[in-house]
Each structure stands twice: as C-alpha cells, then as structure tokens.
Amino acid sequence: MQDTNKFKLGLFVTISLFVFIAAVLSMGVFDSLFKSRAHMATFVEESVQGLNSGSAVKFRGVPIGSISDITIIMESRTVRIDMEIDLSKFKTTLGKNIFTTPSIPAPEFYKYLHSEIDKGLCCRIEPDGITGIKYIEMDFFKDVDARHAGPEFQPGLRNGIFFMPSTPSLMSSLRFNMTEILANIATIDFRKISEETISLLERANKTLNDPRLDNLLNDAETILKKASETVETLNGTLTPEKLDLTLAELDKTIRSIRLLSDGLEKTLATSKIPQTTASIRELSDSFSTGDSSIKMTILKLNEALDAMTDLIQYINDNPSSVLHGKGRAKQ
Amino acid sequence: MTQNAISVKNLTAGYGRRIVLENISFDVPPGQILTILGGSGCGKSTLLKHMIGLRTPFAGDILLHGKSIVSSTGNRKRAIMRRFGVAYQGGALFRSLSLAENIALPMEEHTKMSKEEIREKVREKLRLVNLDGYQDCMPSDLSGGMVKRAAFARSLALDPDILFFDEPSAGLDPLSSASLDRLILDIREKTAATIVVVTHELESIFTIADRAVMLDADTKSIIADGPPLELKKHSANPFVRLFLNAGRDPAAHLHEGSIHAGYQ
Amino acid sequence: MRRRDDMTRRNSILLQIGDVSCVIWQETLSLIQFIGEAVSACADAVRRPRKIRWRETLFYMNMCGSDGLPITALICFLTGIILGYQCAVQMHKYGADAFLPGLVGCSVVRELGPMMVAIVATGRAGSAFAAEIGTMKVSEEIDAMRTMGFLPERFLVIPKLIAMTLTIPMLTVIGDVMGILGGMIVGHTSLGMPVQTYYQQTVEWVAPEYFFESIFKSVVFAVVITLTGCWRGFRAGNDAIAVGKATTSAVVISILFIILCDTFLAHVFNTIFFG
C-alpha cells in the first residue's frame, strides 16, 4: 500500500471543516443559540401570500428579525404571524461607543413597544419591490386605524408573546376598494339588459324584414321620381328668365288694360263702370302679387324636393335610421 | 476408499454459444500432482476456471472434497473456495499491497489469528518459497520468478488441501522454471496437498506430474490420461506422443497440417 | 461466404437497433446486479466495520480529496467568475445589480458547486477507479480475490465509497465558497458593489437549507461516481484496450448519471423541501 500522505489529508480535512463551520455560522444557523430574542405576534385578516417563515421583519426599514411561524386561526379566518426579534438591534442610547452599547432586555423592549403602540405603531405587510416577496413593516402609518377586532387581539404581552396591532396592507385596502366597486357593478342586471336588447333587436329585424316596408320605400321612391320629373319639367318651362318675361308681358298687358280702364274710367266716371274697373284692378293686383307667390312656391317646392332627395339617400344608406331616428352623421 | 479431492463429472463448458469442453470426467485422488496439458486454446484455462468456481459450466458438476462448487453459492461457495489455493499465471498479487500484506490478507479476512500469529505465518510461508526477507517489497519490485513464488506463498496462506497453479513456469528462464518445479514438489511434500498444474512445459510435466490429462481443441475432450512418461512412449494417440516428444517423434506419422490443427 | 452474410446482416438497421437494445439491456442488468452487490457489501461493512480497509480508505481520501482540492477550487472559482460576469452584464441592463449576489450564490451553492466538483471528481477519481479495477481484472487480481473467498465489491468498492462520500462533500463546501468568491470579485470589480454588501446579500439569499442541499447532492454524486467507476472497471474486458474503454465509459456514464440525478434532485428539492 502506498503510504498515505497524512499531513496533506489532515490539512485538507481541516480546511474543509473550517470552511464548513465558517459558512454555517455566517448563514446564521446558530444565531438563535447566541442572540437574545423577543417574541411577537400579530393578526391579519388578509392573504399573507408572499410571506414565509424566515421573511424579514423591519422596524422603520431596519431589519430587526424574522417570521418564525404563520398559522391560521380557524374560528375567525385570521392569520397569526409569529415573529422573532433580534434585540441586539435595539440600543437605548447612542452611547460613547455604539458597539459596546448593550442590547436591551426583553421586558424593556416590550415596555417600549407598549408606549409606541399608543403613539400609533402597528404592523403592516409590505411588498419588497417587484419580486413578490413581502415582509412585515412596523411603523407609524398615517391615516390608518390599527385593528383590534376582539379582546383576544388586544395588543400586549401574553404568555411571553407580545401581540402587536396590525393594519391592512396597501394592497389589501386597494383590493377591498376594488372588491366594493366590483360588487356594485355586480348588482347591475346584465342578463335582463341583454335579454331586452335581444328582444328589441329581434323586433327590429322583424320590422325590417316586413315586405310592407319595402313596398313603402318603393312607393316613396316612385313618388319621388315623379315629383322630381315634374320639378324638372317645371324647371324647364319655368326658368326665371322665361317667367320674368311672361310676367313682364303680363304686366304690359295689365298696364295696357289699366290704360284702357283709365280711359274707360274717364269715360264711365259717372256711370257704374268704376265698380267694374275696381274689381278689374283687384284682379290685376292679385295677379301682380300672384306672380311672386308662384315663384316662391316653386322655389320652396324645389327646396323641398332637394331635402326629400337627401332624405331618401340617407334612408337608403342607413335603413335602420327609419327606426332609430337620425343617428350621428356618417363622415 | 478415500474421497477424491477433485472429481469432474460430465463437464460441458464454454463461452457464450461456443462449447470448449464437452462431457469431460476425471477424478483426482488426494495428494496427487495432476498436470492439465494441451495446445493453446484447448480449454486448459477454461477447465481451471470452472474447477476454481470462477465460471459456471453449461452442464455437469465439479466436486471438491465431495462438495459441489457448481451448485453452491454465496457463503457456502466462499467456504469451499477457502479450502483451495490458486496461483495465477501472472501472479495476480495485489499491487497496492506489500508481499507480506498480500500473503496476510486471506488470514486477516478469514481467520481470527492475532497480528503476531499472522506475521509468523507469513514468514513461514515466505521461507517455504525461499522469499524470506522480502516481506516489505512491493510486487512491482520483484522479478517474474519471485512473483510466481510469492503467488505460491499466498495460495498456501490458508493451508489449503488443494492447490491450483496456472502456468507456473510460463515466461520464466529454464533455471527459474526448474526451481519452481522443485518448489512444487517441495510443497507437496510439506503440505500433502493435491496439486493441479496447468502447463505446457514438457520439463515440468515430466518432473512433477504423477498424472497428466491432455485436452484437445478438436474433440473438446480428454485425449490422454495417465502418467506422462507412459503417455510419451505408449499413448495410442499419435498427437499425444508428438506433443510429449516436443514434436520430434519419429513414430508419429503426422502431417504438418494436423499438427497445426491440433495447436489451434 | 460467412463474411458476406455478416456484412449484409450488419447493414440491417433493425439488427443494429436490436443489438444496441440487447447491449443496453445487459448493461442495465449488470448495473442492477452490481448495485445489489455493492449494497450488500455496504450492509456487510456496517455490520463489521472492523473489516473495512481503512488504510485504503485514507489513501483514496487523499487521492480524491487533498490532491483534487487545488483543481476543484480553481474550477469552482472560475465558474463563479464566469457566472457572475455573464449575469452582471445581463442584469445591469435592467438595473437588477442588487440581485447578482443572490443569483450567483444560489446557482453556485444549489447547482454548479456540487455539479462542478462532481465532474472534476469523475475525471479524476471515477476514471481512476475504472482503470484500477480494469487493470486488476486483466492481471487476474479480481479472480484471485474471488478464489480467496473475498467479495471484490466489498474489498474494492467500500473504501472508495467511504472516501468519496467523505471527501466530495468537503470539496463541495470549499467549491461553493470559491464560487461565491468568484462572483464577489466580479460584483466588486465590474458592478462596483462593496464586498460587505455582496457578502450581506449572499448571506441573505443563500439559505442554510441550500447549503445542506449542496452537501446532500454531493454525497449522492459521490456514490454515483464511485459506483459507476467501479462498475465499468468490473465490466472491463481482459486486455489493455478494454481498460481504456472502461475508463472512457466510466467518465461518460458517470457524467450522464450525475446530470440525471441532478435533474431529479432539483425537482425533488424544489417541490418537496422548498415547495
């Protein structure tokens, strides 16, 4: 057998054991054996998703301990979070040398907690960045009420464990509000609305499919076509110039008639002719007012026909508007 | 009649599908020196491996002092194995252990002797093989002949009744070979053990063997069995005579081809 | 004539597949048999610890542990640097610098440390075991052991197994620390992270459980390497080339088994222990 180099082996074993012990110590496996600790617990009425045994407990951001246990109290569906606090993180005064300042004993720490709770200290679950990991933050939160749901949740020291008040986490409040909003939305009877909408649409469909509607539209179209033809003929015959000419001739005629009637008046002043001429004048007056009123009528008819054409065009494009009235103009 | 030290009964053996030995039977009475001979590849080593229980035969049985090494397994097989010693062709000494440790190993493992007893026993064995004083040598420091003798010493460690020597004089000069032959006879004298020697060294066969068993590759069986000198002169098989006369037997009219066939 | 028959038969792909399957099946059977023998040898060793070859055990401890320490430590250290560097470059893009210690620490301790140590040990010890036992087989030493009434498995495997299961975890502990140191150097130099911060972050992320996972894995790997090395040695043929082949196959199979075991263990640890 080749002789083993025992020195080398011994060195190897020593080094590895040393490294092993150093690694184990630095990871804090035996911390609980050497450090003075305080026990705390708090109750929360929300999901503790993201919180684990070993998650950090921080006091105003200073890591002071870790979660030792998370349990559910079945009766109230409350989650109880047990925490171990490293008392060496709490120093009474700044001291001459902060390293030699002794850590406070547990009872003093509990007393300190009591006084701080009166000032508003409470626990809250906080998310640690975007990682989904959470921790317990102890701080004086503004605008929040610490919850003490029942006498058993009252803050204070019982059985060597200090019970801390807690307040719902931001997420929890947010979730609560969201839940409320969602609950309100949930009260809307979407089913009924949709049923009504469906029946309405069905009826509309029925109406649209009614052959009489088609006939109606067809009739309207024929009437319109005829009207349009008439208007065109009228337009053709009654161009304003022609109309003016006709009216001028009519005027001339009327004037000559007036001249004639003046002469007749003179002649027949004494006779009963004036009555006759007056009635003739009336006629002629009515003629001269009549020409402009015809003109207006024709113009108006033209306008009306334009409007009618637009309307038909629109109905053609949006048949549903017959039912729903004119919607927003299509661009 | 005393029980045979070794009896091979209708042994058929081989590797995979190839049969090397077919229906072989022979008995070895206690105290006899038997040589197994034959050309290369005739199954000498195969026969030896079956006799020492390293391989399981296709058929047949091998009894060592009346106990079947073929059908026993586990601790019973190991108990049988402890009663014989084997010296391998290359010595097969454990290279990581010194000579004394090599010889002491079986005693340490299988007996409850104290360290002093073991040391004394090791010296005794080494003296027997003329290696006294080499206790602390590593096997790699020894010459071929010394390794063989050390292997003998180790095979004697548990004072076995049967000894198997695989080609003890292979690869040795004639002088070392002759001294090994003397050693074998010496061992027989001192231990009265049954000795089986696998060899093809004619000198050894004629010097040490009480009896020779010759195997043949073609017939896969024993072609001669008897005292070697007698076989040399009076064997009915010309090949046996040729073999034992180192290929110079004028009485054997064999063609070259059949000689080669015999050796293949 | 027979030669041509052989050629045509060789060319048949189905025949080749069949051959390979047969070989795999036989090897599997022999592995199971070997594991059985090794387990019974272990039981025997536990029953009679006096019979364990302690001197060989110390020798192998020296060979696998002390002699392998410098190279193992160096490889783990460089692995830490490589991992740290690659991650630093990628994570810096997203401003996730602060997570580098956690990433390097967890990766090295949970995976890369045990794995690298195991691979180095395969190259050093696994191959040596296969070669040693293969050579012993060639020189009939294994046969000699059997005919001396020894169990070669107990004789040859147990000291190696004990030595490996003791030294590989030690190497892994050192390897883990070296890997973290490598990452720390990268974090300090390339991300400008103070060493103290790096250390604190590492301690915060690397839970003690991970450390014990590392050690557990390394024990499993040690068993795998030893058994595979010895098994291939025992399966070696009877000449020098066969010993070389046994050594190669010991390394290849052992690395394969290590990866398989690691996959399985990663799943087990993540679902059962840390799930």
State how far residue A63 is from chain C, nearest Cα, in angstroms. 11
d(CA C123, CA C64): 10
Determine the pLDDT at residue C31. Answer: 94
DSSP state letter for A93: S
List subunits contacting chain C, requiring 3 or more Cβ pairs under 8 Å.
A, B
Contacts of C208 in chain A (CB under 8 A): 24, 27-29
Report pLDDT digits (tens) over A112-168. 888 888 888 888 888 876 666 788 888 887 665 655 555 566 777 777 788 888 887
Residue A273 has pLDDT above 60, yes or no: no
Q: Is the pLDDT of residue A31 over 90?
A: no
Tell me whether A133 touches chain C (CB under 8 Å).
no
pLDDT at C29: 94
The average pLDDT across C38-54 equals 87
**Across chain B, which distance is largest between two alpha carbons, in Å?**
62
Residue A98 contacts B where some CB pair is shorter than 8 Å: no
Mean pLDDT of C126-152: 89
Average pLDDT over residues B150-154: 87
The CA-atom distances, in angstroms, between B254 and each of A115, B233, B240, B264, C104 are 120, 16, 11, 15, 81
Predicted pLDDT of residue A101:
59
**Which of A250-259, B89-98, C106-115 shows the highest mean pLDDT?**
C106-115
Min Cα–Cα distance to chain A from B96, Å? 4
- Residue B94 is encoded by which pair of tokens? 């454990």
Query: Which range scores top for mean pLDDT: B116-125, B228-237, B246-255, C122-131?
Result: C122-131
Highest mean predicted confidence (pLDDT) among A236-250, B73-87, C204-218: C204-218
In chain C, what residues touch B49 (CB-CB under 8 Å)? Answer: 143
> Is pLDDT at A178 greater than 90 in this prediction?
no
The least confident of A258-262, B81-85, B152-156 is: A258-262
**Is A1 within 8 Å of chain B by CB?**
yes
Work out the burial of residue A45: count CB atoms within 10 Å of its CB; fewer than 13 is exposed, 13-18 middle, 19 or more buried.
middle
Confidence class of residue C185 from pLDDT cuts 50, 70 and 90?
Answer: very high
Tell me the average pLDDT of chain A: 73
pLDDT at site B261: 46
pLDDT at C174: 94
Looking at per-residue pLDDT, the higher value among A280 and B31 belongs to B31
Confidence of residue B22 (pLDDT cuts 50, 70, 90): confident
Residues in a beta bridge with A43: A80
- CB < 8 Å to C153, chain B: none
Outline where A210-239 has alpha helix (H): 211-237
Q: In C, which residues are within 8 Å of B89 by CB distance? A: 140
Q: Minimal Cα–Cα distance from B213 to chain C, Å? A: 23
Domain assignments of chain B as residue spans, ordered by start: 56-192, 228-256
For chain B, the chains sharing at least 3 beta-carbon pairs closer than 8 angstroms are A, C
**In chain A, which residue's Cα lies nearest the Cα of B102?**
A1
B135 touches chain A (CB under 8 A): no
What number is the ipTM of this complex? Answer: 0.81
- Give the C-alpha separation, C37 to C29, whole Å: 12
C161 neighbors C42 (Cβ within 8 angstroms): yes
Closest chain A residue to B136, measured at CA: A1
Mean pLDDT calculated for residue range A312-326: 59
* pLDDT value, residue B176: 83
Q: Chain A contact for C61, CB < 8 A?
A: yes
- Structure letter (DSSP) for residue B66: T
Give the gap in angstroms from C-alpha A4 to the nearest C-alpha of chain B.
12
User: pLDDT class for C35, splitting at 50, 70, 90?
Assistant: very high
Q: Looking at the complex, report in whole angstroms how far the Cα of residue B142 sits from the nearest Cα belonging to chain C.
A: 16
- Which chain A residue is nearest to residue B94, measuring alpha carbons? A1
User: What would the mean pLDDT of C178-189 be, rounded to a whole number?
Assistant: 93
Look at residue C36 in the predicted model and tell me its pLDDT: 93
Question: What's the per-residue H, E or C state across chain C?
Answer: CHHHHHHHHHHCHHHHHHHHHHHHHHHHHHHHHHHHHHHHHHHHHHHCHHHCCHHHHHHHHHHHHHCCHHHHHHHHHHHHHHHHHHHHHHHHHCCCHHHHHHHHHHHHHHHHHHHHHHHHHHHHHHHHHHHHHHHHHHCCHHHHHHHCCCCHHHHHHHHHHHHHHHHHHHHHHHHHHHHHHHHHHHHHHHCCCCHHHHHHHHHHHCCHHHHHHHHHHHHHHHHHHHHHHHHHHHCCCCCHHHHHHHHHHHHHHHHHHHHHHHHHHHHHHHHHHCC
More confident residue, B92 or A304: B92
Beta bridge partners of A85: A38, A65
A8 touches chain C (CB under 8 A): yes
C141/B82 Cβ within 8 A: no
Please say if the pLDDT value at position C72 is more than 70. Answer: yes
Note the pLDDT of residue A26.
Answer: 80
Burial of A238 (0-12, 13-18, 19+ CB in 10 A): middle
**Which residue in C59, C69, C199 is closest to A4 by CB distance?**
C59
CATH superfamily of B56-192: P-loop containing nucleotide triphosphate hydrolases (3.40.50.300)
Looking at the complex, report in whole angstroms how far the Cα of residue C255 sits from the nearest Cα belonging to chain B. Answer: 28
Residue C85's pLDDT band (boundaries 50, 70, 90)? Answer: very high
Q: In this predicted model, which residue has the larger pLDDT, B200 or B121?
A: B121
Q: Which pLDDT does position A148 carry in this prediction?
A: 53
What's the CA dihedral at B1, B6, B12, B13 to 10 degrees?
180
Strand A37-44 and strand A62-73: the pairing is unpaired
Residues in chain C with CB shorter than 8 Å from the CB of B90 are 139-140
pLDDT at A287 (0 to 100): 53
Percent of chain C surpassing pLDDT 90: 60
Greater confidence, C1 or B168?
B168
Preferred mutation among C60, C147, C151 to probe B, highest tally of B CBs within 10 A: C147
The answer to whether residue A2 neighbours chain B at the CB level (below 8 Å) is yes
Q: Cβ contacts (< 8 Å) between A2 and chain B: which residues? A: 96
The residue ranges of every structural domain in chain A are 30-168, 211-324
- pLDDT confidence of B264, banded at 50, 70, 90? very low
* 0.80 exceeded by pTM: no
- On whether any CB of chain C is under 8 Å from the CB of A1, the answer is yes
pLDDT in tens, A183-212: 877 777 778 888 888 888 888 888 777 777
pLDDT above 90 (res A312): no
Q: How far is A33 from chain B (nearest CA, A)?
A: 48
When pLDDT is averaged across residues B131-154 and rounded to a whole number, the result is: 85
Q: Find the length of chain A.
A: 331
How much is the average pLDDT of A203-225? Answer: 78
- Please report which helix (H) or strand (E) contains residue B76, including its range: helix B74-81
Mean pLDDT confidence for A278-285? 59
Q: Per-residue confidence at C152, pLDDT binned at 50, 70, 90?
A: confident
Other Cβ atoms less than 10 A from the Cβ of C198: the count is 24
Q: Which residue from C62, C173, C199 is facing A19, i.e. has the nearest CB? A: C173
Q: Looking at the complex, does the CB of residue C65 fall below 8 Å from at least one CB of chain A?
A: yes
SS3 A85: strand
* Pairing state between β A56-59 and A121-127: unpaired
The confidence score (pLDDT) of residue A210 equals: 75
Are A27 and C177 an interchain contact pair (Cβ–Cβ within 8 Å)?
no
Q: What was the pLDDT predicted at A199?
A: 87
Smallest CA–CA distance from B97 into chain A, residue: A1
Q: From the candidates C56, C61, C62, which should be mutated to test the interface with A, based on the most A CB atoms within 10 A?
A: C62
In this complex, the residue of B52, B93, B110 whose CB is nearest that of residue C147 is B52
Chain B residues with CB under 8 Å of A1 CB are 96-98, 101
Q: What is the pLDDT of residues B36-79, one digit of tens each?
A: 888 777 888 888 888 888 888 888 888 888 888 888 888 888 88
Q: Does C140 sit within 8 Å of B88, measured CB to CB?
A: yes
Percent residues over pLDDT 90 in chain A: 1
Do residue B98 and residue A2 have CB atoms under 8 angstroms apart?
no
Segment among A25-34, A87-96, A282-291 with least mean pLDDT: A282-291
